[in-house]
Amino acid sequence: MDTAPADAAPSRIRELIPNPPASRRTMVKGLGAAAIAATLVPFDWALSRRAATARVAPSSEWTDPHCGGVGGYDGQSSNWWEGPAVCYGGWRRGGRPCNAENRHWDGHFIYSSPWYEDIWSQRSTNYCNTRNAWRWSTPSGNTFRCSDAWTHIYWDDGTNKAGLTIAVCFVGVYG
């Protein structure tokens, strides 16, 4: 491919181009490299977008209290410290697991007041129709985010429980 045969004769097209800037073999190599790049760049872009989507999904939310059409319901009372009765589901609901971004926190936490809890939480997209949260507005105009996570809690007496928990996080006031 790199060397011409000893008896090679110029083609008719080559005879029409006086002093070409590159040899035919150089042009074929360049076209091959361009074809490979044109194939791999979109493939690389698609893979990077897929990875970015996977990281963003647990933070997405529905802007209605029905998890994108799964169903409507009334809020249940909070049973994990404070929070209004605007979220539904989970064995614990309340304002305790809200992070600085007003979502259910991820990771490991230890609380020792008023009782000892060793808590492991991971946000999930399995419970609210492929998203992690939904928004709920009260009649007074306050907006809350109900954010899901799978949580495992260990207490100092040796008991533990794992299951869905809901963070009732204040987002803001409409208007």
Its domain, for residue 90, covers 61-173
Mean pLDDT, residues 40-47: 68
Q: Both 48 and 66 in a single domain?
A: no
Dihedral pair phi/psi, residue 126, rounded to 5°: -85, -15
49 and 67 assigned to the same domain: no
* Residue found by looking up tokens 């996080």 in the block: 169
Asked whether residue 166 falls in the same domain as residue 116, the answer is yes
Nearest one of 72, 74, 141, 143 to 102, comparing CA atoms: 143
Residues 6+ apart with CB under 8 A from 4: 25
* pTM exceeding 0.95: no
Q: Indicate whether 1 belongs to any domain.
A: no
Instruction: Name the strand (E) or helix (H) holding 122.
Output: strand 117-123
In a domain, 128, yes or no: yes
Residues 87 and 113 in one domain: yes
Q: What is the pLDDT of residue 169?
A: 92
Is 91 found in the same domain as 25?
Answer: no
Query: What's the CA gap between 143 and 160, in Å, rounded?
Result: 32
Residue with tokens 């005879």: 15
For residue 4, tell me if it sits in a domain: no
The share of the chain scoring above pLDDT 90, in percent, equals: 13
Q: What is the mean pLDDT of the chain?
A: 79
The per-residue pLDDT for 26 is 81
pLDDT tens digits along 80-96: 888 888 888 889 999 88
Which two tokens mark 148? Answer: 């899901």
Instruction: Indicate the pLDDT class of residue 3, thresholds 50, 70 and 90.
Output: confident
Q: Does 70 lie in the same domain as 47?
A: no
Q: Is residue 69 located within the same domain as residue 148?
A: yes
**In a domain? residue 96:** yes
Is 5 inside a domain boundary?
no
Number of DSSP helices (H) and strands (E) in the chain, helices first: 2, 7
111 and 167, same domain (yes or no):
yes
